[in-house]
Amino acid sequence: MAIDYEYRRVVHHGGRTFRATTTMADIFAAHARDIIARGDTELVPLLHSSGVDLLLIGPGSGFSITVVETSTARP
């Protein structure tokens, strides 16, 4: 039986986009910000809708996270 996750965040990194749950995006962002604050460079795992990727995070790398807007209105 498949589990239906709500992918409500989009992580943008290196010209790519990844759909992630709010929890996974928050964990990724916290880890990435800590690495950048220390001036280090590391591979940070991101669990997303298509699997897992290791994203290179360092002082010169950028990433952003956007919220997926959904509507519950019915026509």
Instruction: DSSP for 31-71, please give it.
Output: HHHHHHHHT--EEEEEEETTEEEEEEESTT--EEEEEPP--
Tens-of-pLDDT digits for all 75 residues of the chain?
Answer: 556 679 999 999 999 999 999 999 999 999 999 999 999 999 999 999 999 999 999 999 899 999 998 766 666
Kindly report the number of other CB atoms within 10 A of residue 75's CB atom.
2
Spatial CA neighbour of 57 closest among 38, 27, 36: 36
Q: Compute the distance between CA of residue 5 and CA of residue 63 in angstroms, rounded to an integer.
A: 23
**Total domains present in the chain:** 1
Q: Compute the distance between CA of residue 41 and CA of residue 4 in angstroms, rounded to an integer.
A: 33
* 28 domain-assigned: yes
Q: Which domain holds residue 49?
A: 9-67
* 32 domain-assigned: yes
In the prediction, which pLDDT does 73 show? Answer: 62
* 61 domain-assigned: yes
* 73 domain-assigned: no
In the prediction, which pLDDT does 38 show? Answer: 96
